[in-house]
């Protein structure tokens, strides 16, 4: 008996017919991308003359996490750049902590702080160097509605000034030692203003 006959049996037409009978179904898409995973909540663009701070208020409680995306500059800093600081719910007491890793042309460094009144989440370069250089950061705020634990933050930022002669990338993390739901976020620079055209966007993240 030939090999095809041995594989298909004595009546190949029946075998093939049996294989082809029935219906084909398309498997359901598991873990498919959801286009609404990130939803815009609010945006703020700093106007002429700059601003001492940017604040998002009345944040809805319908998301799992929050994310801030920002790009901008500091006004007339005495340093190359200044950190963007964050406070929740108008709380300026010393119940925040922070951690930081920095790497760039100036080398690498790490640091931390406890019992402070803010969390650094980004760094903006000085507008005195060039009007074309904008810095940026992305900050995630985890489980902002969970009233059973303290709130944690993680962010990444990068900046460059003076045609790459100085610049850094920084990783930040921090905690707000408070179990309240986050309803407002204030962003500011210590002893400096945020320059005009700086852009801040707040997003809500659905799901886990």
pLDDT greater than 60 at residue 3: no
- pLDDT band with cut points at 50, 70 and 90 for residue 208: low
What is the pLDDT, as a whole number, of residue 18? 38
Q: Are 141 and 66 in contact (CB under 8 A)?
A: yes
Position with higher pLDDT, 129 vs 14 = 129
Indicate the burial class of 107 (C-beta count within 10 angstroms; 0-12, 13-18, 19 or more): exposed
Higher pLDDT among residues 110 and 17, named by residue: 110
Token pair, residue 178, equals: 């408070």
Q: Could you tell me which CATH class the domain 39-205 is placed in?
A: mainly beta
pLDDT, tens digit, 9 for 90 and up, residues 66-97: 999 999 999 976 667 889 999 999 999 999 99
Q: Looking up tokens 């963007």, which residue turns up?
A: 84
Q: What are the b/e assignments for 151-163, b being 16+ CB within 10 Å? A: bbbebebbbbbee
How much is the average pLDDT of 128-150? 90
Q: Domain coordinates of the chain in residue numbers?
A: 39-205
Interatomic CA distance for residues 100 and 77, integer angstroms: 21
Cβ proximity of 171 and 120 under 8 Å: no
pTM, two decimal places: 0.79
């Amino acid at each position: 008996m030939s090999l095809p006959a041995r594989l298909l049996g004595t009546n190949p037409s029946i075998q093939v017919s049996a294989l082809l009978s029935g219906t084909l179904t398309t498997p359901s898409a598991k873990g498919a991308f959801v286009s609404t995973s990130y939803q815009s909540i609010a945006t703020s663009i700093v106007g002429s003359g700059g601003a001492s701070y940017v604040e998002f208020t009345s944040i809805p409680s319908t998301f799992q996490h929050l994310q801030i995306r920002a790009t901008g500059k500091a006004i007339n800093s005495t340093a190359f750049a200044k950190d963007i600081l964050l406070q929740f719910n108008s709380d300026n007491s010393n119940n925040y902590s922070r951690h930081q890793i920095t790497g760039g042309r100036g080398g690498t460094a790490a640091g931390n702080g406890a019992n402070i009144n803010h969390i650094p989440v980004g760094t903006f370069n000085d507008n005195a160097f060039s009007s074309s250089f904008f810095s940026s950061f992305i900050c995630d705020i985890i489980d902002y509605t969970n009233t059973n634990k303290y709130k944690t933050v993680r962010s990444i930022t990068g900046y460059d000034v003076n045609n790459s002669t100085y610049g850094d990338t920084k990783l930040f993390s921090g905690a707000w030692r408070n179990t309240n739901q986050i309803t407002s976020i204030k962003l500011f620079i210590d002893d400096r203003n945020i320059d005009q055209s700086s852009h801040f966007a707040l997003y809500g993240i659905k799901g886990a």
